[in-house]
Structure 1
Amino acid sequence: MKPVTIRYQKIILSAIFTTAMDDQVTFIHPCRGVRTPPVVRKPLEIITPEQFDDVYHALPEGTFRLLAETEIESGLRWGELSELRVKDLNLRTRILTVSRTVVELNPKFHPEGRHFLVKEYPKDKEYRRFKLSTQITEKLQAHISSADLTRDDLLFQMPPQDKPRARITEIPDPATLGRTEPNEKGRTYNHGTLSAYTAGRCRCDYCRGAFTLYRAARRAKGKDDPRPRRVRETDGHIPNDWFRRRIWYPALAAAGLNSRPTMRDLRHAHASWLLNGGADLQVVKERLGHTSIATTERYLHTLPDADETALEALAKTRNRSTTR
């Protein structure tokens, strides 16, 4: 196995044995003192403000834009962000209190057979309080008012799923719709055809429509049983994987970024932007809820222009002789 896999498995095994020792099930901790192969830490690739703006404007207007902007302005973990409620934000002082997180589970592991488990006291077993900017607070306040949210409501809620997606009932002449992008074999197909959907793996509205009409025709002939529309079970929380596939990835594609940042990368960007702008290291540590300041130090000098001041100082000193 790769060193990173070995380290990950050791972390899980160590947590199990630590719990077993705390519960006095065992008095031996096999993981203590065991060394694993070193893992080379890759440098962080931080999304720039310009890249974030491109993604932001590619997101659907409304809740999801506000969710992404709140993330970049707060640096919350996903479980903390998706569990935020109206009562956690003091609109007068602009103080946000992080006191809970939510975890998505297989129902068989949930004490009540549900998908989402809300946990008091998130990481490090303590509350976290910090101030938000005026502009994001005003946007959140407007969102609360327009959505008529009460004190205990989630700030960001899963949108309704009971409205079926509009279906194409007729496909124009495929010859007029253009060709798909080349697949792995370099072949292209006319949009609005089964070949484009299956071999070309195109998922535009016309190719989806062609496949939908094909399946509908088979069901009408009794060859296939209709499949019930899949609805994601949720208690109002936004599932992480649903958000990635349905909202985040399409926005990244529309923005045309070379990289593929995640929502966790927005947390990294929050820390990096703060430090690059001159924020105190200890303050950033407390905002992000890091246990060790060494974790926060990783975000120093991570933006592409972070070393510009150092280079300017070097050039100023090196070129001193030429100015005499």
Structure 2
Amino acid sequence: MGFTRRRPGKDGRVGYQALYDDARGVRQTAGTFTTRKAADKAWQRAEARIAEGKPGDPRRGKQTFRTYVEDRWLPNHRMEATTRQDYVYAIKAHIMPYFADMKMRDITSETVREWITHLKQNGVSAHRIKYCKTSILNAIFTTAVNDGVIIYHPSRGVATDPVPEKPRRTITPEQFDLIYNALPDADAQLLVETDIESGLRWGELTELRVKDLDTRTRVLTVSRAVVELVPEYHPEGKRFLVKEYPKDKRTRRFKLSPQITTKLKAHIEAQNLTSNDLLFARRHTPPKPPLHLVEPTDPTFTAPNGRTYAHGTITAYNLGKCKCDHCRGAYAAYRASRRAKGKDNPRKPRVVDTDPHISANWFRKHCWHPARDAAALDWSPRIHDLRHAHASWLLAGGADLQVVKERLGHRKISTTERYLHTLPTADETALEALNKIRNTFAITDLDLQGQLQEAQAKIAQLQAALADQLLVERANPTRNLRSL
């Protein structure tokens, strides 16, 4: 039940404060007024809004965009860890610098359009602008409307520049063989071949364990995925987070070919893997041994800048650019001694990551990109394009569309349909049909032309015979009279 409280001011004047309890039972104020009657009406209106299911306090719209997003929206909005990481980066880079100090109630559709123009002028791509507006800003304002912070949705209906869809290219079997043969070792080749044979996403592929493959029935179960995060966004401050569900939130099972199953089985036996071990794991390299200060044969050297330096000095390492073992060891010892004394802001000891999952960035840098460059293709396929190739090859080979959808874990069959006719040879059937129709009409036209020529020849013969007959009749007119 609301009430009015008498409240003397600093100047001696008496005011009346309207108080009420919100939907959570927390005491709130509806403002201070000069008369008791006005204060009574204020808390009564507030209670009426709560009774109507509208607990929103107009003063909540006075909070800044930064306060709402950082204190309320981000901590409480439900989303995947990778999505939260991407959202935070985009908010800090493109959204917060423009909207940070604006009050939530003052942001309008016109403000959002001005923000889009601002991003375009700063060189932000149309794709990035669409992502920030459609995925992030819309979600923020939708929640704010639902929470009663603002009355209307300022970014709904605001258009962004169109983002044309790039033509989809698919790795052909010939191109795959070139990349496969250029991979550095057998483990990388087996990983890539499993990817092209199964069509798994990278997080699903690198989280596969021995227990997920039934080598007898060749059935593979996909029930988990791993994502790579910045430790700041990991619940435990780690690098890899295993999710107990794949992207489509449901477990799927499908068969592998006999040849890839045989290879995986041989790999499991050769590596002595147990049931819970990863099929593809990162090999940890031992730490580098410390550098030993071996005295060089020549105590001095001439640097590229023309000056002479003595080995083992800081100037030799920094200015002379000498990176021999002696100079590197001397520089490392010098830095270590300073850090031991608390100088130079000593770094935290490096923690070795023992997680066996393979980093996508590491695999791209050390395996995929070198093999792709060695293959000398006319385009630059990604690792994820192996999944696209799997779908395209199945469909081009006559596999059922629904079967391919289930293997890939798509929610909608329209997503799977995108992989139809993506191979370079996919249009050959259409071209053959077109040529067949054109040739049929061409043959028909030739037949008609031949028949027309024959008819014209016969007409010419008849005309010639009639002409000869007329000449004969003109030459013998009496013969014609006798016949009469």
- TM-score computed with the length of structure 1 as normaliser: 0.77
Contact 1:70 1:136 in 2 (8 A): yes
Structure 2 unaligned residues grouped into runs of 5+: 1-119, 290-302, 305-320, 337-349, 448-484
| TM-aligned CA deviation for residue 160 of structure 1 | 2.3
Write the deviation string for residues 244-290 of structure 1: whole angstroms up to 9, x where unpaired. 00111111122222211111011111111111111111111111111
| TM-aligned CA deviation for residue 3 of structure 1 | 2.1
| TM-aligned CA deviation for residue 17 of structure 1 | 3.8
Contact 2:180 2:192 in 1 (8 A): yes
Corresponding position of 2:181: 57
Instruction: Show the 5 A alignment for 1:113-192.
Output: 113-162=237-286
SS of corresponding position for 1:316 = helix
Write the deviation string for residues 58-105 of structure 1: whole angstroms up to 9, x where unpaired. 112321100000000111111101111111111111111111110111
The reply on whether 1:216 has 2:329 as its aligned counterpart is: no
Corresponding position of 2:105: none
SS of corresponding position for 2:362 = helix
Contact 2:142 2:153 in 1 (8 A): no
SS of corresponding position for 1:299 = coil
SS of corresponding position for 1:243 = helix
The reply on whether 1:98 has 2:222 as its aligned counterpart is: yes
Write the deviation string for residues 111-148 of structure 1: whole angstroms up to 9, x where unpaired. 22211000011222111111111111111111111111
Corresponding position of 1:282: 402
| TM-aligned CA deviation for residue 217 of structure 1 | 4.3
Contact 2:179 2:372 in 1 (8 A): yes
- Residues 30/80 of structure 1: CA separation in 2 closer, same or farther (3 Å cut): farther
Corresponding position of 2:422: 302
Count of residue correspondences = 282
Corresponding position of 1:180: none
- Using the alignment, how far apart are the partners of 2:385 and 2:128 within structure 1? 21
Contact 1:88 1:96 in 2 (8 A): yes
Give 2:405's aligned amino acid.
K
| TM-aligned CA deviation for residue 20 of structure 1 | 4.9
| TM-aligned CA deviation for residue 32 of structure 1 | 4.7
| TM-aligned CA deviation for residue 109 of structure 1 | 1.7
Corresponding position of 1:8: 131
Report runs of 4+ in structure 1 exceeding 4 Å deviation: 18-21, 23-34, 220-226
- Residues 300/126 of structure 1: CA separation in 2 closer, same or farther (3 Å cut): same
Contact 1:116 1:234 in 2 (8 A): no
Contact 1:285 1:293 in 2 (8 A): yes
Structure 1 unaligned residues grouped into runs of 5+: 166-193, 196-211
**Percent of aligned positions that are identical:** 57
- Using the alignment, how far apart are the partners of 1:11 and 1:97 within structure 2? 34
Task: Judge which range, 252-261 or 23-32, deviates more.
Answer: 23-32
Corresponding position of 2:359: 239
- Using the alignment, how far apart are the partners of 2:387 and 2:356 within structure 1? 23
Contact 2:199 2:391 in 1 (8 A): yes
- Using the alignment, how far apart are the partners of 1:77 and 1:11 within structure 2? 25
- Using the alignment, how far apart are the partners of 1:96 and 1:305 within structure 2? 30
Write the deviation string for residues 36-58 of structure 1: whole angstroms up to 9, x where unpaired. 33211011111110000010011
Pick from 72, 82, 90: which aligns with 2:206? 82
Pick from 256, 274, 280: which aligns with 2:376? 256
Pick from 160, 177, 189: which aligns with 1:36? 160
- Using the alignment, how far apart are the partners of 1:67 and 1:271 within structure 2? 18
- Residues 234/312 of structure 1: CA separation in 2 closer, same or farther (3 Å cut): farther
- Using the alignment, how far apart are the partners of 1:5 and 1:146 within structure 2? 46
Corresponding position of 2:19: none
Write the deviation string for residues 137-176 of structure 1: whole angstroms up to 9, x where unpaired. 11111111111111100000002211659xxxxxxxxxxx
SS of corresponding position for 2:242 = strand
- Using the alignment, how far apart are the partners of 2:246 and 2:185 within structure 1? 30
- Using the alignment, how far apart are the partners of 1:163 and 1:279 within structure 2? 49
User: Relative contact order (C-alpha < 8 Å, sep 6+): which is higher?
Assistant: 1
Corresponding position of 1:202: none
The reply on whether 1:269 has 2:389 as its aligned counterpart is: yes
- Residues 220/239 of structure 1: CA separation in 2 closer, same or farther (3 Å cut): closer
Contact 2:210 2:279 in 1 (8 A): yes
SS of corresponding position for 2:433 = helix
Contact 2:210 2:273 in 1 (8 A): yes
Q: Which has the larger radius of gyration?
A: 2
Contact 2:206 2:226 in 1 (8 A): yes
* Structure with more of its chain in helix, by fraction: 2
Contact 1:79 1:101 in 2 (8 A): yes
Contact 2:170 2:389 in 1 (8 A): yes
Corresponding position of 2:340: none
- Using the alignment, how far apart are the partners of 2:382 and 2:233 within structure 1? 27
Contact 1:104 1:116 in 2 (8 A): yes
Write the deviation string for residues 177-216 of structure 1: whole angstroms up to 9, x where unpaired. xxxxxxxxxxxxxxxxx99xxxxxxxxxxxxxxxx97343
- Using the alignment, how far apart are the partners of 1:300 and 1:90 within structure 2? 30
Corresponding position of 1:67: 191
Give 1:294's aligned amino acid.
S
- Using the alignment, how far apart are the partners of 1:71 and 1:272 within structure 2? 14
Give 1:251's aligned amino acid.
A
- Using the alignment, how far apart are the partners of 2:380 and 2:278 within structure 1? 28
Corresponding position of 2:431: 311
| TM-aligned CA deviation for residue 219 of structure 1 | 2.4
- TM-score computed with the length of structure 2 as normaliser: 0.53
- Using the alignment, how far apart are the partners of 2:149 and 2:404 within structure 1? 39
